[in-house]
Amino acid sequence: MSEVLDGLRIADLLQCGPDRLRVLSVSINPRSTSGTVAMRGAADESLFHFKRAEPEAIAREAAELSRAAAATRAVEGIASVRLRAHDSQRGVLVTHHVPAAQSLFNYVWNGTSPWRRRHVAGADLHRVGRRLGLWLRAYHDATHCPKMEITPHVARVVSEIHDKLDLIQREYPSHLPSHTLSRVSRYANEAAAQSSAWTTPGVARVHRDMDLANVLIQANGDMYVLDFGDSREGLPWEDLARVWNALWGISRVGRRRAAPLSPCLSALLESYGETENVVSHPLFRFLRCFNAITAVSTYLVSRDYIGFTSRRASRLLARVNQAWLDSLTP
Q: For residue 324, what pLDDT is reported?
A: 96
Q: Residue 39 carries which side chain, given as an amino acid letter?
A: M
What's the rounded Cα separation, in Å, for the pair 142 and 67? 9
**Residue 43 pLDDT more than 80?**
no
**Residue 315 pLDDT more than 50?**
yes
| 101-326: CATH architecture | Alpha-Beta Complex (3.90)
Give the residue extent of every domain in the chain. 2-96, 101-326
Q: For residue 147, what pLDDT is reported?
A: 86
Largest CA distance in the chain: 64
Q: Residue 277 carries which side chain, given as an amino acid letter?
A: N
- The DSSP code for 91 is T
Determine the topology of domain 2-96 in CATH.
Phosphorylase Kinase; domain 1 (3.30.200)
Q: Could you report the per-residue pLDDT of 20-39, keeping only the tens digit for each? A: 777 788 887 777 788 888 87
Identify whether the C-beta of residue 51 lies closer than 8 Å to the C-beta of residue 29: no
Q: Could you report the per-residue pLDDT of 75-85, keeping only the tens digit for each? A: 999 999 999 99
The C-alpha torsion from 62 through 245 and 330 to 167, rounded to 10°, is 60
**Residue 330 pLDDT more than 70?**
no
Under the banding of pLDDT at 50, 70 and 90, the label for residue 270 is very high
Under the banding of pLDDT at 50, 70 and 90, the label for residue 8 is low
Dihedral sign computed on CA atoms, order 264, 275, 180, 151: negative
- Percentage with pLDDT > 90 across the chain: 75
What's the rounded Cα separation, in Å, for the pair 212 and 329? 27
Identify whether the C-beta of residue 74 lies closer than 8 Å to the C-beta of residue 54: no
Identify whether the C-beta of residue 209 lies closer than 8 Å to the C-beta of residue 102: no
Q: Could you report the per-residue pLDDT of 85-119, keeping only the tens digit for each? A: 999 988 999 999 999 999 999 999 999 998 877 78
Say what the pTM is.
0.93
- Spacing of C-alpha 84 from chain mean position: 21
Calculate mean pLDDT across residues 243-247: 98
